[in-house]
Amino acid sequence: MIPMYPEDETCPICRKACMDKDGEHAVHCKELSGFKYRHDWVWDVLWDILRRARISAKKEAPVNFFTDPMEGRSTLRPADLLVFSWGRGKHACVDLTGVSPLVGLRENGFVAGQAARKAESKKVDKHAKTCAENQHVFVPFFL
């Protein structure tokens, strides 16, 4: 926790968030190539496992029920993986999400795993109800 950056400096990678003096943002900026690489690598491994097990699935499958009723168009990205007949005949929308274990490290009361639990709660709140209403299962998968 050594001060490394001036307060309120813009991140040179994502140009969105303000850098904190301790450099926490620099460690887990989502625009760093490592996050995308890890997401895609796990995505490919899961796809390969499903394929080898002869489980029918589709990458980046469009799910038509993820739409905004006011606009009539899709507002959410497709499922990272759509696994057909996952359980009780329902398809599963699998969402892969990368979460840095260091998020919140400089805050008082840091608890290991809190960032993943918070991200899971947000994802479930955002997608689970819509999936259930359309006879699908939502499966969050954290990296």
Q: Say yes or no to pLDDT of 95 above 60.
A: yes
73-74 vs 57-61, strand pairing mode: unpaired
Number of Cβ within 10 Å of residue 118's Cβ equals 13
Considering the chain, what is the average pLDDT of its residues? 79
Per-residue pLDDT tens for 42-69? 899 999 999 999 999 999 888 877 665 5
Distances (CA, A) of 82 to 21, 24, 37, 78, 126: 41, 34, 20, 9, 17
Domain residue spans of the chain? 56-142
- Chain centre to alpha carbon of residue 15: 20
* pTM of the predicted structure, to 2 decimals: 0.69
Residue 93's alpha-carbon distances to 66, 85, 112, 114, 135, in angstroms, are 11, 11, 27, 24, 11
pLDDT at residue 27, as a whole number: 66
